[in-house]
Amino acid sequence: MIPLDDPIWQTLEGGYRVPYNPMPALERLEMAETREEEKEVFRELWDKLHHQGDVGTASYATVPHLVKIGKKKGIKSYDLPALVALVEIQRHESQNPSLPEEFKESYANALVSIPELIASSLPGDCDEYITSSVCAALAASKGQFNLARAYLEMREDVALEFLKEQTGYEPSTMNKTEQVASRNPDKPVS
């Protein structure tokens, strides 16, 4: 993993194909104490590391740091797994640069550790955005890019529509509270 004080950060490009040094944002993310501080950092990272399908060398160098931060702080929103998934998906698109040789080992190690990241730091109460982004990150880490892309786009309503159209599935008549209770029998329903 490239140390945050390495001068190479100054030479990397983000999604706009202009120099972008994500090091200060990564340092702020590591030190963030509130969800609002994290959101602010992720807004910057989303904006600078990805643009209309384009990613750059700064995007690749950031992935191992995001995974490390996720292991340390946990997955608190869809941002971290979704950004990791998107960078890995887009890395394989022809318009994007190849992964530099000096990044390959740490990048590959980050992808291999995604299942561990998910298992150790996923919050017990996940909304559909966290669930879909975690599934996308797992699929992307396994090279299943179409599935990863579908997970990034999928929400409960879209999934239901797809299931009805493609498989004829009709959902249970249980309401949402009953469905939650059936998944968590030891948790009181409020």
Domain boundaries, the chain: 7-154, 158-190
How confident is the model at residue 183, as a pLDDT?
Answer: 64
How confident is the model at residue 51, as a pLDDT?
Answer: 94
Please report how many Cα atoms fall inside a 13 Å half-sphere around the Cα of residue 111, on the Cβ side. 20
Cβ-based neighbours of 22, under 8 Å, separated by 6 or more: 9, 12, 14, 45, 48, 49, 58, 61, 62, 65
How confident is the model at residue 3, as a pLDDT?
Answer: 86
How confident is the model at residue 17, as a pLDDT?
Answer: 92
Considering the chain, what percentage of its residues have pLDDT values greater than 90? 75
What digits encode the pLDDT tens for the residues 145-169? Answer: 999 999 999 888 888 899 999 999 9
54-55 vs 50-51, strand pairing mode: antiparallel
DSSP states of 47-107 = HHHEETTEE-HHHHHHHHHHHHHHHHH---SSHHHHHHHHHHHHHTSTTSPPPPHHHHHHH
What digits encode the pLDDT tens for the residues 52-71? Answer: 999 999 999 999 999 999 99
* Mean pLDDT, range 23-35, rounded to an integer: 95
**In the predicted structure, residue 112 carries a pLDDT above the cut 80:** yes
